[in-house]
Amino acid sequence: MTFFGRSSGFTEGKDLNSSTFTEILNKDDIKEIVILNNTRAEIYIKEKSIEGNEEYSKKAKNPFYRKGSALYEYNFGDLQNFENKLDAAKAKHGLSFNYAYKEPISILDTIIGFLPFILLIAIWLFFMKRMSGGGSGAGGGGQIFNIGKSRAKLFDENTKVKTTFKNVAGLEGAKEEVQEIVDFLKNPEKYTKLGGKIPKGALLVGPPGTGKTLLAKAVAGEAGVPFFSLSGSDFVEMFVGVGASRVRDLFKQAKQKSPSIIFIDEIDAIGRARGKNSMTGSNDERENTLNQLLTEMDGFGTESNVIVLAATNRAEILDKALMRAGRFDRQIYVDLPDLHERKEIFDVHIKPLKLSNDVKLDFLAQQTPGFSGADIANLCNEAALIAARNNKTAIHHQDFMDAVDRIVGGLEKKNKVITPREKKVIAYHEAGHATVSWMLEYAAPLVKVTIVPRGQSLGAAWYLPEERKIVQTEQMLDEMCATMGGRAAEKLIFDKISTGALSDLEKVTKQARAMVTVYGLNEEVGNVTYYDSSGNDSFVKPYSEETAKTIDKEISKIIEGQYQRAIEILDQHKDKLDILAQKLLEKEVIFKDDLLEIFGKRPFEKDEKISDELSASEE
């Protein structure tokens, strides 16, 4: 600020032209002339003359004019000529002014003048660097200026994508759908010749680790095109406009390399529905980014051959505008693998491993329900590590089983201190679950019960639930009854209940609440749902106080009913419950076969069929 202030306040209308200068000079109004930088002259007018002359005093009224400073400036051009002119005038008219020279402003002055700015910029750079994620290494200050550039990882001719459909196991349906995209990229003419439009985007929807990134990469690999990969959250930065400019930059790059594929992981980070939760207005930046993405997708014609693949596990919260025709108009579902697919994924991931021939992949696939592709990849690696730790030369079946247990339940805590009395409670608790679920038609049959503590839980029971697309009231109730079986057994045997059933209670409470408020499976509240599929969490409950009371009453009625039912069932089969609990205490882990031996065939057993999905219930 000081620097700019220095070259005295007002400049406008201060400059004299040559004839006015001569006029003033000849009138002998000039007190002093100061020559600056050998190019300009400051003209100081005598006080007397200013008072006596209307023109001067008008000028002097300028708020920037200070008494005693120069009233005019004059660009004289050549210094020698100017000096001659002044000397001539002095001689001719006997003028009394003197003239002086002022050195050009020194460098030091300049720097001091700029100091505040330099300081400001330094602070700004510092914060920018911190924002941009620790300044990824050697880039240093330079990368600040790339803040609006996209952060996409690029795989192109140089770092070729080597992934192909061979690397993607299972996902047959999804592969078929993306096969079309590969075709589009390979020979677009085939489609455009008939007037068809090439799709611009496809959305891969599915839980994490199911191979969405892998699939997108395989598309690029199959089509042999460059692949831009980044995550939705890479767009989001604290600074206004950064997201949008990154989107612009990304599309620019992709178009230059077209045909190409852009893959945006976790698109929900930017694609969440607009105009909601905007109480703070802090989402404006995200909205701008989303708008820019939509604009870009609309903007490029089909001839640009850029296809955008995006992944999310929550398609329902995305802005509807994203799904409109010409944008992500295809949705490809990438689900958790089923039994058969898990086997195939195992096949892919055991390739680099050294296996002993006792490994039974079919059995492993059966034991890993709910595992995603990424989990299975992790499992294979874990098995290899376990085998190595035990100095084996090949990976055995047991190593895989240990790895499964470890991934499902966390590390086994063999030395966790449990008193014999506690152990007995745990055994009866788990046996309670097992007994109730064995006796109920719709409860999932149990495959494994253990009282070896793992992670947070003290014991666990694994079930084989049927795959159901819709669930009827009886089925839900049976499941809840089995979940209450643990606590019911404690009550029946010890006449005391414990804190050990926390996660059971949590589970049934959630289920009961869902029955009442979501699915309308209840008596008092009726066929009403308070579920909002748009995913808006509202602060205000969508029902009245009175309804809230009814809901609470219904929930506890349902849970209490199932608890009593579980106690009755256990009472009827108390002898078997005892046997089972004893066996558990003895062996720590028991399987379905032991249950068959104790209980005999399940009362409602239809044909023995291996159902695929299996879920673990803790405690």
Q: Are 477 and 559 in contact (CB under 8 A)?
A: no
Choose which of 14, 31, 200, 212 interacts with ligand ADP (CB under 6 A): 212
Choose which of 209, 221, 409, 486 interacts with ligand ADP (CB under 6 A): 209
Shorter beta-carbon distance to ligand ADP: residue 214 or 516: 214
Q: Which residue in the shown chain puts its C-beta closest to ligand ADP?
A: 373
Angle formed by the axes of helices 284-299 and 242-256, nearest 10°: 20
DSSP 8-state secondary structure symbol assigned to residue 46: P
Choose which of 211, 226, 485, 486 interacts with ligand ADP (CB under 6 A): 211
Give me the phi and psi of 264, to 5 degrees please: -110, 110
Residues ≥6 apart with Cβ < 8 Å to 298: 326, 327
The listed partner (Zn ion, ligand ADP, none) that binds 504, CB under 5 to 8 Å by sort, is: Zn ion
Q: Are 357 and 363 in contact (CB under 8 A)?
A: no
* Under rule CB under 6 A, residue 208 binds ligand ADP: yes
Find the shortest distance in angstroms from Cβ 616 to Zn ion: 11
Nearest to 34 by CA among 8, 13, 9: 8
Residues that bind Zn ion (CB under 5 A): 486, 504, 619
Shorter beta-carbon distance to Zn ion: residue 434 or 551: 434
The listed partner (ligand ADP, Zn ion, none) that binds 377, CB under 5 to 8 Å by sort, is: ligand ADP
The listed partner (Zn ion, ligand ADP, none) that binds 132, CB under 5 to 8 Å by sort, is: none
The listed partner (Zn ion, ligand ADP, none) that binds 486, CB under 5 to 8 Å by sort, is: Zn ion
Nearest to 151 by CA among 132, 164, 170, 166: 132
Residues ≥6 apart with Cβ < 8 Å to 504: 483, 484, 486, 487, 617, 619
Q: How far is Cα 168 from Cα 180, in angstroms, rounded to an integer? A: 16
The active-site residue out of 42, 285, 296, 430 is: 430
* Under rule CB under 6 A, residue 210 binds ligand ADP: yes
The listed partner (Zn ion, ligand ADP, none) that binds 373, CB under 5 to 8 Å by sort, is: ligand ADP
Find the shortest distance in angstroms from Cβ 176 to ligand ADP: 14
Q: How far is Cα 147 from Cα 246, in angstroms, rounded to an integer? A: 8
Stretch that binds ligand ADP, among 93-101, 103-111, 167-175, 352-360 (CB under 6 A): 167-175
Shorter beta-carbon distance to ligand ADP: residue 32 or 612: 612
What Å distances lie between residue 488 and 464, 480, 504, 596, CA to CA? 22, 12, 11, 22
Nearest to 526 by CA among 542, 534, 515, 511: 515
Choose which of 30, 161, 168, 293 interacts with ligand ADP (CB under 6 A): 168
Q: Is 430 a residue of the active site?
A: yes
Residues ≥6 apart with Cβ < 8 Å to 126: none
Site for ligand ADP in 325-364 (CB under 6 A): 345, 348
Find the shortest distance in angstroms from Cβ 349 to ligand ADP: 6
Shorter beta-carbon distance to Zn ion: residue 311 or 566: 566
Stretch that binds ligand ADP, among 17-25, 76-84, 294-302, 373-381 (CB under 6 A): 373-381
The listed partner (Zn ion, ligand ADP, none) that binds 169, CB under 5 to 8 Å by sort, is: ligand ADP
Q: What share of the chain is helix, strand, coil (3-state, %, to 5)?
A: 50, 10, 35
Q: How far is Cα 224 from Cα 445, in angstroms, rounded to an integer? A: 48
What is the Cβ-side half-sphere exposure of residue 308, based on CA atoms within 13 angstroms?
30
Residues with a known catalytic role: 430
Binding site for ligand ADP (CB under 6 A): 168-171, 208-214, 311, 345, 348, 373-374, 377
